[in-house]
Structure formats: structure tokens, C-alpha cells
Structure 1
Amino acid sequence: MKVYQGANAFNIEQPTVVTIGTFDGVHAGHRKIIERLNNSARANNLESVVLTFFPHPRMVLQKESGIQLINTIQERKQLLEKTGIDHLVIHPFTHQFSRLTALEFVRDILVHKLNARKIIIGYDHRFGRNRSADINDLKKFGEEFNFEVEEICQQEVEKVAVSSTKIRKALEEGKVEKANNYLEQAFTLSGKIVRGKGMGKDLGFPTANLFLEEDYKLVPRNGVYVVRAKIGEEMVYGMMNIGTNPTVGGTEKTIETYFFGIDQDLYSSYLSIEMLTRIRDEKKFSSIEELKTAMKQDQAFSRQFIQDNYA
């Protein structure tokens, strides 16, 4: 898969089949659409192109919404690469871009830049300034500029549109298993391991503190979770706490993971941690000893869950 930072960087001569969307989560519904894209590309001797946008349009046009995304743009790239598409175009979404008319978007981006001979798009897709144009307009443009439009039916579109929202809601409620079922893969938090206050080590549970660089990345509800990560060539399991550590007087939100059976310095390494299930809410305990007891119970729960599901 070749990646292009904007449509202006795309300059291949081979005609293409294009689909358009934000693809947050790259979940099961998205992958069905991309499978159709790839099949069409092979059947018609075209190159498959996914046109996506960053920042998310709502981050630009509706800043007050405070939207949090399932994937960072880097995670989205990695997930889309697994789908087997030929080209990924990440076009910068700006106020200026949002002001393009439907004609300008189709003619200047889809036809002249992306060399589209076919576009696969949802029946309710809207585009152009103020989202004024719909699929019927796109079909008319197709006749004018010599490209085919393949319409994704209402049932498929609704699955895609609803699932991203459902996934975000499930994560906000801490229901990672439900989110993972929608995604058909584990939800991931990715970042650099940074030094913390060392409280976990004092408690007998030394933790790796994950720093998320992207402030738009959705972090699940505070609590304790069973997780895993690939460290070197080994898949390592553990338990993660998301929260403020109220028992020891913490106030800042942290993401801390205690990996089982790991005795190595992880500082400055970059980890992608998969979230598997939720154990419990974060709680302020009446004493350090009570906290230690709870953490031992969390560890026992985690090991049993891993044994039952991943052994």
C-alpha cells in the first residue's frame, strides 16, 4: 500500500476505483466496503484507492463537539494496510477544503488528481460545500466525466455509520469486549512508555506508563482491564489501570500496565496495547493494604481470563 499526504501527491497514470470516508475504527462494515473496492479493482484492471481525511471533519467544523476517535491516524494507516488496498490518500481536511463546490471536488480531486474511473459510495453520501450534493449529483458528474458510480445500499451504509458510533459509546462505557466484537479485532492504545512516580513498584506491581501523544484518541472509561502487547517477539499479557490512582492521592489521569512475567526496562519503547476485557471500576480504597489485596484479585482474575480465552 502506498500512502499519499493529500490528493496533490497522487500522480499515477493507471485509472482507479475510489471509495471515500473517515473509516474510524476500520471495523467489519468498513472492511466489507473495502473488500468490494478491491474486488472491483481486480475485475476491472483498476488500482484501488481509499480517500480519507485528517483531521476528522468534525474536529475542524464542529470543534465544540470534542469528538474522540477510535484510531489515531497512524493506527488507521496500519489497519487499512491490512485490507490489501493499493493506495491510501490522506487528504488534509481544512475550512478551505470544506468550501469546495461539488463540481470542484469531483473534477479537481476525484477525476484530475485520483484518475477515478469508478467510485463506490453510500446511497446517502453528501459532498461539496455545505454537503449540498448527493449520490444523484455524483451519477450526473459520472456521465460528464466518464466514471461509473456503484451505490452501497442503505443496509450496508447504516451498519458502517452506526458501528463507529456504537464502538465509541461502548468504549466510553468501558465495554471493550463489546467494542472488540464490533471491530472484529482488539481495541488498541498505542504510545511511548514514560517514567511515572514508581508507586506501582512500591506496591509490588511495577507498571509501564503509557503516554498518548494524540489528544483526540479515545481512552476507555476509567477502570482496570486485562490487556496484552507484543514485546519483542513475545505476546505478553497483563492488567491495565486507567484513572487517577485515588487511593494514593493521585489527581492526574494515567494509563499504567503491569505485565506478567516481564523483568526488563520498557522506558522509551513504543507499545501498542490491546484491551481484552474490563475487570472493575477504579476505586478509592481505605488503605494501601486493601489496594494491594484488590490488585492481587485483579491479577488472579486476569490470569484466569487469559487461561480460559488465550491459552
Structure 2
Amino acid sequence: METIHNISDFKNVPHQTVVTIGTFDGVHLGHRKILERLTNNAKNTGLKSTVLTFFPHPRMVLQKDVDIKLLNTLEEKKQILETLGLDYLIIHPFTKQFSRLSAIDFVRDILVNNIKSKRIIIGYDHRFGRNRNANIQDLMAFGSTFDFEVEEIPAQEIDDVSVSSTKIRKALMEGDVETANSYLNYAYMLTGTVKKGKGLGRDFGFPTANLHIAEDYKLIPKNGAYVVKSDLGGNTYFGMMNIGFNPTVDGSRKSIEVNFFEFEGNLYDTKIQVQLLHRIRDEHKFNSIEELKEQLKKDKNHSLDLISK
């Protein structure tokens, strides 16, 4: 898969394309049905499968008062899409100026002249152009003018996408990572850089990697303790992670801290990706440090039990 970061950079690509358009946040099972249809169509027609998406998310630009949280960072989305057999991923910068393109300008200049679309696979409810004033019927009419076909994704599939996204976000906000993972078809991930923390975990016998996530739009699951795994230096390590404020030690800032089992080494300033497998419990304020230590031992045993299963 080749990633292109501006539509204008696609002009030099000598291929005609079959295209689908969307944010594809989460790249979950519902999205994968659409993307599988795209790649199969490309194989059958000799066209190049192409996903056109935008960043920032349009709502971040047009509705700045809305605190939107996304399931994937841009890098995570690229990582997942890379595995699905696409030919091209176009990530075009979304701006207010871009949003003001008329429907005909978008179709003629973007879809036809730049991306060389011969077939567009799109949802029945897709809207585009300035103020989103054009619909799929308009797109089909443009297809007759500019010589491309439009394949409509049925209502049931589009509704499945919408329901899945809602259920995934709801599940994560409730800490139900098993349900979220079942809809995603992969383990929900947090990607960040390990920064120095207070070092209290080491004092307790549970040294932690303090994960800093730069993207403030990334959805962080409900506070609490989780079973996780990561690929560190080519090896897989399991561990337990706490999301929260560490109330027992008067924590005032939210943190994400991971204790990896059987890992020895320095992760400071290393970028890592943590996959969430199970949720163990809520975050609690314990009566003493000793009580917290005892609970951490129980958490580790519980985690190891879940991992072994």
C-alpha cells in the first residue's frame, strides 16, 4: 500500500482507480466489508483500490466546539489499513477552504482529474460538496458526465458501520474492551512514548512504563486496571496497565502506566504500542501503600490467569 498525503500528489500516478471515501475510524468489521468489496472490485476490473480519507477529521475543523474522540490515531489507522491489501491510501488535509469546494469541483478536480476514478463505491447516504448539498443521485449523474460508475453500498451495511462505531466507543468508555475488540477484530491499542514518571511503581516492586500519548483526540478507555500486551524489541510481553489518577499516592494528573511481566530494560523515550486484552477492575483509593501493594500482587495473579487462558 502506498500512502499519499495530498490529493495533488496523486496526479503522477499512472493508474485508474476504484475509490471509496470515508474516515474509517477504527477500521472495524463493518468497514472491512466495504474495503473487501473495494479490493475485490479492483482485482476484477484491473483498477487500483484506493481509499480517500481526510485529516484532521472534518468535525475537528468545522465543529471545533465538539470534543471528538477517535478510535485510531492517524498512524494506527495507516498501520491497520496496510494489512488489508489496498493499493493506495490518500490522506488529504481537511481545511475550511477544502470544505467549500462545490460538488462539481470536488468530482471533476478531485475524483476525476486527480484520482482518475473509474468506479466509486459509496454509501447510500453519502453527501459531499459545499454544505454537503449533493447526494449519491448527484454523484451518479456526474458519473454519466465524467465517465465513471457509482456502486451504492446498501443501507444495511452502512447502518452496521454506524452501529459498530457507536458500540465500540460506548464499550471502551465503559471499560468493556472484550466487546470493543470483538467489533474491531483486533485488540484496541494505545500508542505513545514512554516518559519518566514518579518512579513509585519501582519502589512498590512493580516498575511501570509511563505512556504519553501525543494525540489528544485519541479515545482513552475508562479508568481502571487492564491486562495488556506489547511487542518490545521483537518479543511479545504481557503486563498490566493502570489508567487513572493513582489516588492512593495523591495523584493529581491522569496517567497511563504499564507494568510488563518478565521485561528487563530501559524504555524511556521509546515509542511503544500497547494492546488492551481484558479489564481487571476499577481504580480504587486504598487505605495504605501496603494495601495497594497487596492488590497489585492480586492483579498480577489475576492477569497471569487470564493470559494463560
1:102-121 alignment runs, 5 A limit = 102-121=103-122
Q: Tell me the residue number matched to 2:192.
A: 191
**Could you tell me which amino acid in structure 2 is paired with residue 9 of structure 1?**
D
Q: Alpha-carbon deviation of 1:162?
A: 2.0
Where does the alignment leave 5 or more consecutive residues of structure 2 unmatched? none
Which letter maps to 1:144?
A: T
1:3 corresponds in structure 2 to: 3
Aligned match of 1:217: 218
Offset of residue 292 of structure 1: 0.8
The residue aligned with 1:131 is 132
What do the CA deviations read for 1:169-213 (whole angstroms, capped 9, x no partner)? 111111111100010100000011111110000111000111101
Q: Could you say what secondary structure the match of 1:277 adopts?
A: strand
Q: What amino acid sits opposite 2:223 in the alignment? A: N
Distance 1:163 1:97 in 2: 29
Asked if residue 99 in structure 1 is aligned to residue 104 in structure 2, the reply is: no
Deviations 1:89-113 (A, max 9, x none): 0011111111111111111100011
Distance in structure 1 (CA, Å) of the matches to 2:218 and 2:152: 31
1:1-311 maps to which residues of 2 (within 5 A)? 1-11=1-11, 12-308=13-309
CA-CA distance at 1:50 after TM superposition: 0.2
Q: Distance in 2 between matches of 1:166 and 1:239?
A: 24
Following the alignment from structure 1 to structure 2, what is the Cα–Cα distance between the partners of residues 197 and 6? Answer: 42
| Partner secondary structure for residue 117 of structure 1 | strand
The amino acid that maps onto 2:142 is F
2:286 alignment partner, SS class:
coil
Distance 2:100 2:171 in 1: 34
Tell me the C-alpha RMSD between the 2 structures. 0.7
How many angstroms does 1:138 deviate by? 0.5
3-state SS in 2 of match to 1:197: coil
Post-superposition shift, 1:32?
A: 1.2
Superposed displacement of residue 29, structure 1? 1.0
Distance across 2 between alignment mates of 1:256 and 1:166:
26
TM-score by length of 2: 0.98
After superposition, the C-alpha distances for 1:65-84 in whole angstroms (9 at most, x for unaligned) are 10010000011111111111
Match of 2:221, SS state, is coil
**How many pairs does the alignment contain?**
308
Code of the aligned partner of 1:34: L
Using the TM superposition, give the Cα deviation of residue 13 of structure 1 relative to its aligned residue in structure 2, in angstroms. 2.3
Letter in 2 for 1:8: S
Question: Which consecutive residues of structure 1, in runs of 5 or more, have no partner in the other structure?
Answer: none
The normalised TM-score by structure 1 is 0.98
Report how far residue 254 of structure 1 moved.
0.5
Report the alpha carbon displacement of residue 264 of structure 1 after superposing the two structures with TM. 1.0
Q: In the alignment, residue 298 of structure 1 is paired with which amino acid?
A: D
- CA distance in 2 between counterparts of 1:109 and 1:8 reads 8
Counterpart CA distance in 2 for 1:142 and 1:160 is 25
Q: Distance in 2 between matches of 1:249 and 1:50?
A: 47
Partner Cα distance (2:137, 2:121) in 1: 13
What is the aligned-residue identity percentage? 58
Distance 1:166 1:142 in 2: 35
Deviation at 1:165, TM superposition (A): 2.0
Q: Deviations over 1:14-64 (max 9, x none)?
A: 110000000000011111111110111111110110000100111111121
Q: Distance in 2 between matches of 1:124 and 1:148?
A: 17
Write out the 4+ residue segments of structure 1 that deviate beyond 4 Å after TM superposition: none
Distance (Å, rounded) in 2 between the aligned partners of 1:92 and 1:166:
28
Q: Shift of the alpha carbon at 1:2?
A: 0.7
